[in-house]
Amino acid sequence: MYHSNSYLDFILDPRNSTQSAANAEDNRHTEFGIEEDCPVFRGLPEYVRLVAGATLTATKTLADNQADVAICWDGGRHHAQKSRASGFCYVADCVLALLTLKRVRYPPPDGSLLPRKARVLYLDLDLHFSDGVSQAFLRSHAPAGAPQLLTLSLHHAAPGFFPATALAVLSDPDDSAFDPCTLSVPLARGASNATVARVWRAVERIRDAFRPDFVVLQCGADGLAGDPYALWNWSLSGEGGLGWCVDRVCNTWGCKTLLLGGGGYNSTNVARAWAYLTSIALRQPLPLDSDIPDHSAFPLYAPSFTLDVPAGNAQDHNTDEYLQMVESRFDRAAEIIREKVGQ
């Protein structure tokens, strides 16, 4: 269990999920974050159970070696805190998945009497920083032992942009507070496939150093072109696109992978993305010029009525100088991680 007993008792009590309870003067809704972007709604306790249960069911198929890839598109609630809802996230299903996978054990390696503990990499591609997950595992590894879990978030960051946290800045190995297992790559406006492809080299250096057994990949779609946030200019296709990233993880990394959903406020583009990513996970990628099948929401897929989410015309403000800094810092981070893992 991750959440506090007091939070679970509150959020799972149906008496607290009514508007009249939320409006009461002596209510505890504010204490637990049930306000503003996390409002009450009918069926909230069941929703929390279903999201957590679905993610944990998918996680168990990996832990029990029943699948190489498992998917829960309604998961990925990466802002939820231990005792507080936040950012549309009422339950920390990502954290629950990571805690479950950390418990997996492998036969003792040569020369050892103890089973080897699984290593788990959490990689977040959402437009927003994975504050709930990163904070949950910040400096959680024993200084003298090999780390079991590493979090890495690619996201947008700017003054006033949610979530406001010092952890969202670019990780710096020279900082006295640096945690090599809590990594962050903020990207500026207009982040494009080219920028993500370049940053991806740093991501894969971290992967190579850490050598995970499992990857939990949060596939938020709010960085795609056409999202109402209009901050990144990311596409579904092409080198560096969201589909390309998921293909790299699922089909070339050699790790058991849990795919989770996340943000995304253009519902048709989110549907496009998750349909395409599912086909990639199945190693049967759909043609990006596939026609959207006729259904009740068909008019919303105008003007293309096809699967692809192409990039727009926004300028990419991520400079070569900044991307060189990312590469330099992550080269040093990878060396630190490699030493800690014992490679």
Q: Which residues are catalytic?
A: 79
Structure tokens, 31: 């204490």
Cis before residue 293, ω within 30 degrees of 0?
Answer: no
- Calpha distance 16→8 (Å, rounded): 11
Residues 6 or more apart whose Cβ sits within 8 Å of residue 210: 119, 121, 147, 150, 337, 341
H or E stretch covering 138: none
Please tell me whether residue 100 adopts helix, strand or coil conformation.
helix
Closest Cα to residue 48, out of 18, 6, 3? 3
The answer to whether 282 and 274 are in contact (CB under 8 A) is no
CA distances from 8 to 16, 40, 83, 88 (A): 11, 15, 8, 17
Place of tokens 């003067």: 25
Length of the chain: 343
Residues 6 or more apart whose Cβ sits within 8 Å of residue 111: none
Sheet holding 182-187, edge to edge: 69-72, 256-260, 214-218, 120-124, 149-156, 182-187
Under DSSP, the state recorded for 234 is: B
